[in-house]
């Protein structure tokens, strides 16, 4: 059989393995972790550091193509692999997405508008920040995700303190950061697309995203108001232009802000399948993970049309720490003991599964921690109204209310 390879062993790698296997491929995961959730479903696991020469050699020789499930894999590993096999996306694309400074400069050069920002590398740079950028968000340029490595700063004084904290967290060496103006969001959307090595592009319908505490909470397709068809079209065009300019191969996701004044700004991009594209597993002709496998194998791109209204709810570890449910509270009122508020309680999966149109995806992670992505549920129905009703029911069960 033919082999496809993936760097990284988290849930994105795991869902990629499952999609590739369904197409008949065998999958090899390179993951430094001994017993990761992707390596458990992979056909082969190479347990080594991403830059381990022998591991890269083995992976590159075994696989007809290799991809990455996260953008922070060292670009050098992808470069090394490119000498041995097909790599999608290429090291250059990944390198652009893994550094906010490079990424923003690339957007600007490509004519894609972004929030006003300045690069901050030193304490002097902080002092020179213009007042109009406040309130702003200070973000480390590399390795941040789920809102980690970010600080909302209302003033120069707060920016100073935040930069100092980031410097201490980095062991005393000031990390490269950007300060962005905080924009007035009317909505957030993402554009997911796949681009083949022949340059053909398949774009998914625009998804509306709601973040809570910097972490994606809810994705809705079709995107509701205020995402007009014109804004959706413009976002798709910009994402397509970005992919072409990178000569991108594989699945790409571009996050956008829609401002209250109607402007559309690019936030960041992910050179891989994305959390906001998980709805494609249950409501699109072809999922984003299968799409990635197709690009890698040189197969035709799949159908990106959405088949039915869908709402994706992320299931975080927080769901294990819910307030005691009503039954427990009444037990306590009747003189019974209250459950330990620090104890973990497994969400009521049977109740979730009892909702028609609720498609549960759990990643098989052993340890539920607050803020950790444990799974997601795609809720589908034939009408938008029905999907909302069901999502409200499911949201209450997984501690991810539809309206935050
Ligand atoms: P991801 O997990 O998507 O990679 P991240 O840690 O890279 O997240 P961002 O996408 O930069 O973080 O920001 C997370 C969220 O914070 C955004 O989706 C948005 O809700 C909010 N946010 C970020 N930058 C701004 C801004 N300049 N103005 C207003 N809100 C912002
Ligand atoms: Mg990010
Ligand atoms: Mg983001």
pLDDT 10s digits, 263-276? 999 999 999 999 99
Q: Kindly give the pairing relationship between strand 44-46 and strand 26-30.
A: parallel
127 is in an annotated binding site: no
Number of structural domains found in the chain: 4
pTM above threshold 0.90? yes
- Is there a single domain that holds both residue 189 and residue 287? yes
- Is there a single domain that holds both residue 375 and residue 317? yes
Protein residue with least CA distance to atom 25, ligand 1: 182
pLDDT 10s digits, 356-395? 999 999 999 999 999 999 999 999 999 999 999 999 999 9
Pocket test residue of 94, 141, 191, 211 for ligand 1, highest count of atoms within 8 A of CB: 211
Task: Say how many residues make up the chain.
Answer: 404
Distance CA 222, CA 220 (A): 6
Helix (H) / strand (E) containing 389: helix 384-397
211 is in an annotated binding site: yes
Q: How far is the CA of 216 from the centre of ligand 1 (A)?
A: 9
Q: How far is the CA of 186 from the centre of ligand 1 (A)?
A: 14
CB contact at 8 A, 371 and 314 = no
Residue showing tokens 């053909």? 200
Q: Is 403 a domain residue?
A: no
Q: Is 269 a domain residue?
A: yes
Tokens of 328: 């427990």
Protein residue with least CA distance to atom 28, ligand 1: 182
Q: Is 30 a domain residue?
A: yes
- Reading the chain (404 residues) residue by residue, the pLDDT tens digits are 699 999 999 999 999 999 999 999 999 999 999 999 999 999 999 999 999 999 999 999 999 999 999 888 999 999 999 999 999 999 999 999 999 999 999 999 999 999 999 999 999 999 999 999 999 999 999 988 888 899 999 999 999 999 999 999 999 999 999 999 999 999 999 999 999 999 999 999 999 999 999 899 999 999 999 999 999 999 999 999 999 999 999 999 999 999 999 999 999 999 999 999 999 999 999 999 999 999 999 999 999 999 999 999 999 999 999 765 555 556 666 666 666 667 889 999 999 999 999 999 999 999 999 999 999 999 999 999 999 999 999 999 999 999 87
- Is there a single domain that holds both residue 160 and residue 202? no
| Boundaries of domain holding 345 | 310-397
- Is there a single domain that holds both residue 197 and residue 174? no
Q: How far is the CA of 268 from the centre of ligand 1 (A)?
A: 8
Instruction: Kindly state if the Cβ of 183 falls inside 6 Å of ligand 1.
Output: yes
- Is there a single domain that holds both residue 147 and residue 228? no
Instruction: Kindly state if the Cβ of 170 falls inside 6 Å of ligand 1.
Output: no
Phi-psi region of 214 (alpha: psi -120 to 50; beta: other; left: phi over 0): left
Helix (H) / strand (E) containing 71: none
Beta bridge partners of 252: 193
Q: For the domain that residue 348 is a member of, what is the CATH number?
A: 3.30.470.20
- Is there a single domain that holds both residue 140 and residue 226? no
Protein residue with least CA distance to atom 7, ligand 1: 145
């Amino acid at each position: 059989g033919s082999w496809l390879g993936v760097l990284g062993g988290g849930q994105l790698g795991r869902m990629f393995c499952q999609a590739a296997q369904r197409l008949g491929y065998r999958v090899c995961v390179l993951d430094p972790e001994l017993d990761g959730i992707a390596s458990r479903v992979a056909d082969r696991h190479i347990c080594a550091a991403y830059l381990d020469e022998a591991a890269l050699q083995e992976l590159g020789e075994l696989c007809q193509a290799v991809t990455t499930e996260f953008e922070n894999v060292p670009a050098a590993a992808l470069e090394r692999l490119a000498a041995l096999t097909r790599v999608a996306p290429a090291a250059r694309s990944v390198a652009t997405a893994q550094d906010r400074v490079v990424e923003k400069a690339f957007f600007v050069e490509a004519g894609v508008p972004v929030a006003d920002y300045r690069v901050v590398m030193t304490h002097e740079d902080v002092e020179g920040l213009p007042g109009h950028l406040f309130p702003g968000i200070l973000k480390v340029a590399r390795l941040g995700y789920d809102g980690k490595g970010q600080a909302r700063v209302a003033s120069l004084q707060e920016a100073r303190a935040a930069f100092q904290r980031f410097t201490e967290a980095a062991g005393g060496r000031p990390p490269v950061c950007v300060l962005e103006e905080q924009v007035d969001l009317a909505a957030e959307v993402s554009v997911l697309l796949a681009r083949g090595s022949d340059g053909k592009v398949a774009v998914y319908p625009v998804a509306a995203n709601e973040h809570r505490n910097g972490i994606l909470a809810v994705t809705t397709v079709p995107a509701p108001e205020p995402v007009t068809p014109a804004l959706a079209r413009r976002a798709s065009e910009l994402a397509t232009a970005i992919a072409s300019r990178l000569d991108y191969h594989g699945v790409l996701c571009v996050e956008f802000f829609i401002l209250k004044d109607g402007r559309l700004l690019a936030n960041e991009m992910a050179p891989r399948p994305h959390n906001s594209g998980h709805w494609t597993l249950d409501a699109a002709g072809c999922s984003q993970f299968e799409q990635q496998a197709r690009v890698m194998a040189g197969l035709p791109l799949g159908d990106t049309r959405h088949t039915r209204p869908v709402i994706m709810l992320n299931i975080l570890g927080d769901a294990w720490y819910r307030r005691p449910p009503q039954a427990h509270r009444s037990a306590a009122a009747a003189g019974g003991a209250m459950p330990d508020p620090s104890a973990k309680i497994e969400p009521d999966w049977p109740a979730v599964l009892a909702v028609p149109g609720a498609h549960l995806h759990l990643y098989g992670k052993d340890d539920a921690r607050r803020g950790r992505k444990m799974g997601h549920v795609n809720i589908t129905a034939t009408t938008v109204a029905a999907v909302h009703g069901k999502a409200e029911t499911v949201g209450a069960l997984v501690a991810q209310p539809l309206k935050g």
